[in-house]
């Protein structure tokens, strides 16, 4: 018998927390929860969960700090942040710390379940893609270890950033649209109304890592009206 997918909910609002537990169990998941940042952090770093739903505003340790601690121990742990904050600065902070996605409150159960399914699918992609990516003479990327170098200086990538690089590398002969990245890398359905700024934020982060001059990219370029293209030579 196949084991159930295990989800940790770190949320201090009892109504939301209890509702999420009921919804996840109804959909066939195994759910555990924590009501504050300290107990949430202890459970989150245990490595026992396939996915973590992490509120940002928590008593004790906040969600950003928990995400940072999780990433230090396990760069590949799937994390979705739940937040009432929807400004670009807060979204960028969460994504910069390695969150796989964010869901703004209030959210619909249908939307959340689709996001959960997408993140879990995304966590399993990339098995047959190239293990090494070279960009010119400057950048070398080891996709297995989420690491690389640029002119000898070390680089570290999140799992999502690496998935984007791998997908663009596998399709380097053409530009890839934001919508295609959302579908193939994030795993969203084509009819979902997801803002493409999520893609742009990740592209900007990648450019800061792999480009000598991020404002004038040589490798991860924008093709006007078509999307992004990775130039490997």
Please give the DSSP secondary-structure letter assigned to residue 170.
H
CA angle 78, 76, 103 (to 5 degrees): 25
Q: Do domains 6-122 and 132-230 have the same CATH topology?
A: no
For residue 103, which phi and psi values (nearest 5 degrees)?
A: -130, 125
Q: Are 187 and 179 in contact (CB under 8 A)?
A: no
Q: Which CATH superfamily is domain 6-122 in?
A: Response regulator (3.40.50.2300)
Domain residue extents for the chain: 6-122, 132-230
Reported CATH class of domain 132-230:
mainly alpha
User: How far is CA 22 from each of CA 10, 42, 59, 84, 232, rounded to the nearest angstrom?
Assistant: 14, 22, 23, 21, 47
Dihedral (C-alpha) 142, 211, 164, 143: value to the nearest 10 degrees? Answer: 0
Query: What kind and span of H or E run contains 54?
Result: strand 51-55
Dump pLDDT digits (tens) for 116-172.
Answer: 988 887 766 443 445 789 998 889 999 888 899 999 999 999 888 988 998 899 888
pLDDT beyond 80 at 91: no
Which residues, including other chains, have CB under 8 Å from residue 61's CB and lie 6 or more apart?
A: 37, 38, 40, 41
pTM of the model as a whole: 0.58
Cα of 76 vs its chain's centroid, Å? 9
Dump pLDDT digits (tens) for 31-77.
Answer: 999 999 999 999 998 878 889 999 988 999 999 999 989 888 887 78
């Amino acid at each position: 018998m196949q084991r159930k997918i295990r989800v940790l909910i770190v949320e201090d609002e009892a109504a939301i927390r209890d509702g999420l537990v009921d919804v996840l169990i109804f959909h066939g998941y195994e759910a555990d929860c924590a009501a504050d940042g300290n107990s949430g952090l202890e459970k989150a770093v245990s490595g026992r969960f396939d996915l973590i739903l992490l509120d940002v505003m928590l008593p004790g340790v906040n969600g950003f700090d928990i995400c940072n601690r999780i990433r230090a121990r396990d760069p590949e742990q799937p994390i979705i942040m739940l937040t009432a904050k929807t400004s670009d600065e807060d979204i960028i902070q969460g994504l910069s710390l390695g969150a796989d996605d964010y869901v703004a409150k209030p959210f619909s159960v249908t939307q959340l379940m689709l996001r959960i399914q997408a993140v879990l699918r995304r966590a399993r992609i990339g098995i047959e893609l190239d293990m090494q990516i070279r960009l010119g003479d400057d950048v070398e990327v080891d996709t297995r270890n989420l690491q690389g170098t640029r002119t000898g200086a070390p680089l570290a990538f999140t799992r999502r950033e690496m998935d984007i690089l791998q997908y663009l590398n596998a399709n380097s002969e053409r530009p890839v649209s934001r919508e295609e990245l959302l579908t193939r890398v994030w795993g969203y359905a084509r009819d979902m109304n997801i803002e493409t700024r999520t893609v742009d934020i990740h592209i900007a982060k990648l450019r800061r890592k792999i480009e000598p001059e991020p404002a004038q990219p040589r490798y991860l370029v924008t093709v006007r009206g078509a999307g992004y293209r990775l130039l490997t030579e």
